[in-house]
């Protein structure tokens, strides 16, 4: 069974490139273009790895990060991962 990778990316060209290359390496790839879509899919099944665009507009990550906060990118990614995949912890 191949590892399952979720790509969370809002730029279609980059999503296509990542999917093509990861598919070619034998990974099971799922792509989403918005944070709320990722949240929905992650409630169904948690992937082995999430490739996350940390430069996505903040509103796309609203389900996971307080929209009015001034969080640095590292903290935004940490909160996003911790809340999307609760069985995994980023230390």
Look up tokens 């069974």; give the residue. 1
pLDDT at 61: 58
pLDDT confidence tier of residue 19, bands split at 50, 70 and 90: very high
> Can you tell me the mean pLDDT for 74-83?
69
> Can you tell me the mean pLDDT for 28-53?
86
Neighbouring CB atoms inside 10 A of 74's CB total: 10
Q: How far apart are CA 10 and CA 33, in angstroms?
A: 4
E strands along 13-83, which residues?
A: 28-32, 49-52
- Are the C-beta atoms of residues 58 and 69 closer than 8 Å to each other? no
pTM of this prediction?
0.69
């Amino acid at each position: 069974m191949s590892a399952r990778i979720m790509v969370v990316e809002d730029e279609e060209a980059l999503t296509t490139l990542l999917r093509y290359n990861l598919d070619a390496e034998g990974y099971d790839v799922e792509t989403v273009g918005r944070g709320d879509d990722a949240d929905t899919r992650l409630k169904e099944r948690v992937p082995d790895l999430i490739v996350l665009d940390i430069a996505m507009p903040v509103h796309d990550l609203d389900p996971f990060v307080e929209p009015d906060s001034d969080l640095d990118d590292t903290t935004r990614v940490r909160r996003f991962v911790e809340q999307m995949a609760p069985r995994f912890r980023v230390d």
